[in-house]
Homo-oligomer: A and B are copies of this chain.
Amino acid sequence: MKVGFLGPKATFTEIAVMSVFSEDELEPFRTIPECMDAVADDRVELAVVPIENALEGSVNITLDYLTRVVDIPIVGEITIPIKQHFMVHPSNQEHWQDVKHIYSHSHAIAQCHKFLHTQFKGVPFESVTSTAAAAKMVMDHPEWQAAAIANELAAKEYGLQIVQRNIHDFNFNQTSFFILSNKDMDLPLMEAANATYKTTIMVTLPADHAGALHQVLSAFAWRKLNLSKIESRPMKTGIGNYFFIIDIEMKLDEVLIPGAMAELEALGCGVKILGSYPSLMVELD
């Protein structure tokens, strides 16, 4: 099976992909839309793209492209812990505390703010397009005496030496990834202990009136359907117009979710199921 993912190699997306699809043929894509286009055009059978980070929130480009441009069901979700390490070229590992530059993705730099502030105050840092790109730059230029903040896989892939592990400020940082596919497939994710089922729907409200969203939530509340997420995104028709992405904590059934959806449609809402899928929490060492 061919699995597309947001590249380059050795990013957190590849760690997520490897945790489930280590036996498959993996193809990195340069951007999230390109990766989703590839599964829409049947060039890959599955696409794995980031959807949410515990610190930064939703990945808007994934949500927007999935709701507006391509129409591909969500068939699974993988959540992994985000662990950032400090790494240098092996020839610099003896004097790693004297690095002159630090490279990483802007989010990773933000996530390691305390470490950088206490241990490398005054050392300039620069953001590049991914943590993997930072690792590659540091490997290619030992003479810069630079360090990268990146993950374990990037250290292995590019041959860097990790000199300080787990330098991130928040221990509970995680990122979730959607698995998208047009193929009707039953991924073996539910075999893991940490797996649950989710159903994600998209709801557009009828003409703006007080309490429309409250009515929508009522349809779930009286059925005791637990919502784990509700996210508003702009309709692109002017400020103040939104649609909502809602996660329901159960597998699509034949009674409760269809009943709630029929009720919403009767209220004048637009409702669309984006997927009903197993969601897996991966533990890494």
Contact = CB atoms under 8 A, between A and B. Distances in A.
Interface of A: 52-57, 60, 79, 170, 172, 174, 176, 208-211, 213-215, 217-218, 220-221, 224-234, 236-240, 242
Contacts of A210: 220-221, 224-227
B240 A229 contact: yes
A263 to B, nearest CB: 14
Assembly stoichiometry (copies): 2
Contact of A54 (B176, B224, B228, B239): B239
Given A174-B239, A234-B54, A214 B211 contact: no
A106 B174 CA distance: 27
B214 A57 contact: no
Contact of A214 (B60, B170, B214): B214
Contacts of A57: 60, 232-234
A228 B210 CA distance: 8
A213 B239 contact: no
A213 B224 contact: no
Contacts of A208: 228
Nearest to A235: B54
Contact of A232 (B53, B56, B221, B232): B232
A171 to B, nearest CB: 10
A107 to B, nearest CB: 11
Given A55-B236, A210-B227, A211-B221, 4 more contacts: A54-B239, A176-B239, A210-B224, A230-B230
A1 to B, nearest CB: 27
B228 A240 contact: yes
Nearest to A57: B234
B60 A239 contact: no
Nearest to A170: B236
Given A56-B234, A229-B232, A230-B232, A217 B214 contact: yes
Pick the most buried of A217, A218, A224, A231: most chain B CB atoms within 10 A of its CB: A217
